[in-house]
Amino acid sequence: MGVDATVLSPEVGDKPLYRVRVGPIVSVDEVRTLVATLKNNGITTNIIKLNSIKPKDAVSR
């Protein structure tokens, strides 16, 4: 589908669970387009927004 993705497969009980991560995506329009493409191909989506997190020991100058 032309999407760069990372597949994770942790074990959940006796069955594998497949989690696919895509991104980073920087615009809301890109997210909407990607979600529509995935849904049109029968793929369930969940959107998780991550904010940049500065490490505790980082010092601003």
Would you write out the chain's pLDDT as a tens digit for each of its 61 residues?
777 888 888 777 787 778 888 877 888 899 899 899 989 999 888 888 777 656 555 555 4
Strand, helix or coil for residue 58:
coil
Residue 8: inside a domain: no
pLDDT, position 58? 52
Place of tokens 């909407």: 32
pLDDT, position 7? 84
pLDDT, position 59? 53
Residue 31: inside a domain: yes
Residue 32 is classified by DSSP as: H
pLDDT, position 39? 92
Q: Which domain holds residue 37?
A: 22-48
Report yes or no: 18 and 7 within 8 Å, Cβ to Cβ: yes
Counted domains in the chain: 1
Residue 7: inside a domain: no
C-alpha distance from residue 29 to each of 25, 45, 50 (Å): 9, 16, 17
pLDDT, position 52? 65
